[in-house]
Amino acid sequence: MNTSKSEALFEKSRKRIPGGVNSPVRAFGSVGRSPLFIDHARGSHITDVDGNTFIDYVCSWGPGILGHAHPEVIEAVQAACTKGLTYGAPTKKELLLAELIHEAMPSVEKVRLVSSGTEAVMSAIRVARGYTGRDFILKFKGNYHGHSDGLLVKAGSAALTTAVPDSGGVPASYTKNTLVALYNDRDSVRELMERYPDQVAAVIVEPVAANMGVVLPEEGFLPFLREITRQYGALLIFDEVITGFRLGMGGAQEYFGIKPDMTTLGKIVGGGMPMAAYGGRAEIMDMVSPVGPVYQAGTLSGNPIATTAGIATLEILKRHPEYYGEIERKAKRLAEAFRERGRKTGEAIWVNQVGSLLCAFFTAGPVQDYDSATASDTKAYAEYFGRMLEQGVYVAPSQFEAMFVSAAHTDEEIEKTCKAILEKV
Ligand SMILES: *Cc1c(COP(=O)(O)O)cnc(C)c1O
């Protein structure tokens, strides 16, 4: 595989862009390779600047549930562009999208559109604090909620302490209101709630954790969070930036039958454009300015082009409810191929899969939280990544990311991918 043009661009990019990339995981650091520079993508395929084409399971980290450049979405966006790129004034499309979101997720009675998942979560937390008059946020180790200061934390040295920054440039004072519990560990949540009974504004959780690989909530974990937040007067925030419109139109809240107080959305909701959203019960969302005292704003919020891409994507999904069953069936087929590889080669492989999300961990498993996920052999993952690339399959350049199946992946491509998975050096 010739990647000389990508390598040359990477060399030059590193001089003008930190690490040559605009988001760290793109640098391929954990798989010890030079990143591919992409020229274009269509359907299930992505093509780099050297003309290599791959079956793509990164799907831009989640937005691409319909595959790339869906003709209907592109046509809608092109038409919208001719009407101007931004007005900084309300449009009918924002209303339409808000209605589509509410229809899919009835718990989201009111919604604000923003420009990234980070912004959605940051704003939701501010609103939760404003609504409850409390300062603490409880999050889970290994869950990712974007890069806002208060959430870039790792658990403190002793259990039951507040968190410490996990990034340079974050003052310790910015994370002192963040508590960190363990995913799927009810006792860790209960202990923190008991310790700070009137201080936790919200528990925020990825209902399916998809930023430490894919980790499913154990039976009863989400109902427990619903129950204990009610008991202590805290809000339950589902960060559905990945799961929203991915596990079904109604996201994880529909899939698992839990009604959160607030929801954050991103990725699919923007149809491939920079857009995200946060919403929840009307009385909570009415805390937001100009109705309430919690300030939140954005020059490009509800941007007409992004809104158009989001609406087109959601309408296609609404028209094709069968897509969800199909992508789930395909993800199951891939999961089976990984298990077969484990049986054939004797490698320790553990697969977690739900809907069209899956992750093969190079560990004996089971993988149910951060510590068991990070027990994976990342060197084995890097080797697997390289072999997949050489066989024309583009998977995440990190063990701790999901494999995303889209409606554009054909059965033939899935079988080709299964063959690549089983082809071990
Ligand atoms: C991607 C992601 C975010 C952050 O979204 P950005 O648009 O990258 O800022 C937040 N939460 C979850 C669960 C995510 O997967």
Q: Point out which residues pair with 263 in neighbouring strands.
A: 238, 279
Q: How far apart are CA 142 and CA 183, in angstroms?
A: 8
- Do the beta carbons of residue 376 and residue 362 sit within 8 Å? yes
Using the mean position of ligand 1's atoms as its centre, give its distance from the Cα of residue 415 in Å: 30
Using the mean position of ligand 1's atoms as its centre, give its distance from the Cα of residue 208 in Å: 13
Atom index in ligand 1 nearest the CA of residue 242 equals 15
Using the mean position of ligand 1's atoms as its centre, give its distance from the Cα of residue 174 in Å: 20
**Whether the bond into 366 is cis, omega within 30 of 0:** yes
Name the residue of 211, 245, 398 to mutate for ligand 1: max ligand atoms within 8 A of Cβ: 211
Name the residue of 26, 119, 145, 247 to mutate for ligand 1: max ligand atoms within 8 A of Cβ: 145
Q: How far apart are CA 217 and CA 95, in angstroms?
A: 33
Which residues have a Cβ under 8 Å from the Cβ of 13 and sit 6 or more positions away? 20, 21
DSSP code per residue over 74-113: HHHHHHHHTT-S--SS--HHHHHHHHHHHHH-TT-SEEEE
Residue 262 has what pLDDT?
Answer: 99
Name the residue of 121, 123, 246, 263 to mutate for ligand 1: max ligand atoms within 8 A of Cβ: 121
Question: Which residue is closest in CA terms to ligand 1's atom 11?
Answer: 145
Read off the tokens for 25: 């995981």
Residue with tokens 């300015």: 289
Closest CA to 192 of 174, 206, 204: 204
pTM of the model: 0.97
Q: How far apart are CA 158 and CA 160, in angstroms?
A: 6
Residue 158 has what pLDDT?
Answer: 52
Using the mean position of ligand 1's atoms as its centre, give its distance from the Cα of residue 342 in Å: 31
Atom index in ligand 1 nearest the CA of residue 211 equals 15
- The residue type found at 246 is R
- The residue type found at 18 is P
Question: Which residue is closest in CA terms to ligand 1's atom 10?
Answer: 145
Using the mean position of ligand 1's atoms as its centre, give its distance from the Cα of residue 54 in Å: 25
Name the residue of 23, 123, 241, 268 to mutate for ligand 1: max ligand atoms within 8 A of Cβ: 241
Residue 99 has what pLDDT?
Answer: 98
Give me the phi and psi of 184, to 5 degrees please: 65, 10
Pocket of ligand 1 (CB under 6 A): 116-118, 121, 144-146, 206, 211, 239, 241-242, 266, 276
Atom index in ligand 1 nearest the CA of residue 274 equals 7
According to DSSP, the β-strands at 178-181 and 200-205 are unpaired
Q: How far apart are CA 250 and CA 324, in angstroms?
A: 11
Active-site amino acid positions:
144, 239, 267
Question: Which residue is closest in CA terms to ligand 1's atom 8?
Answer: 117
Using the mean position of ligand 1's atoms as its centre, give its distance from the Cα of residue 357 in Å: 15
As averages over each run of 10 residues, the pLDDT of the chain (425 residues) reads 97 97 93 96 98 98 98 98 98 98 98 98 98 98 96 72 87 94 97 97 98 97 98 98 98 98 98 98 98 98 98 98 98 98 96 98 96 96 96 97 98 98 82
Q: How far apart are CA 248 and CA 320, in angstroms?
A: 11
Q: How far apart are CA 24 and CA 34, in angstroms?
A: 13
- Do the beta carbons of residue 370 and residue 32 sit within 8 Å? no
According to DSSP, the β-strands at 110-114 and 262-265 are unpaired
Using the mean position of ligand 1's atoms as its centre, give its distance from the Cα of residue 298 in Å: 18
Q: How far apart are CA 138 and CA 125, in angstroms?
A: 10
